[in-house]
A = this chain, B = another copy of it.
């Protein structure tokens, strides 16, 4: 973007997230210093989410984090690096949560999908986390590395996980024989759209539909469409 800025790859830079969680953090001053990068990251997430990459000023991030502008550069060598750190940090967190949630066992495969809706909804309806897909969408074009990373680590792994459930359901005769890859894309679409919708329109919308209603209907409709025989207690 800006000429003469060093362009590091997304994955190789680990120097920043130097967290020592195992150590019993003692003095408040020490604690503060240790927490700095995370505080900056959070301030950056909120600012990037609201304005996008280009329109975010380092001043804004610093002000929101309650530190001086120059201090950011102690932890992140450039605005781009900060952006990438934000995306990576919160993305990885999102993935971990979703994976953990999806791993829970359930009586039927339909039930597992139904729970997946709940879990993903919970994760993504937190405005802090919903910001991620939006950022990837908005600025991914200028950060191919981020788009690639998101595609591989978030979308790829998430869809893979879900596709495994669908595949198992088909094998068990519970689901109709559809293309699992395609089915899971359809499955996550309303969840994503709901998150993006919230972010985009909540400032300009007086009365919006509660996401829970939407996602409940989604689970019903989708499973009814997918299952060989409709689930019993269907409303």
Contact = CB atoms under 8 A, between A and B. Distances in A.
Given A147-B204, A179-B213, A185-B193, A139 B52 contact: yes
Interface in A122-154: 134, 136-142, 144, 147-148, 151
**Size bin of chain A's contact surface:** 35 or more
B141 A52 contact: yes
Nearest to A183: B217
A192 B192 CA distance: 10
Contacts of A196: 137
Interface in A193-223: 193-194, 196-197, 199-201, 203-205, 209, 213-214, 217-218, 220-223
A181 interface: yes
A222 B220 CA distance: 10
Number of copies: 4
Contacts of A192: 189, 193
A226 B221 contact: yes
A54 interface: yes
A226 B225 CA distance: 8
Interface in A33-91: 50-55, 79-80
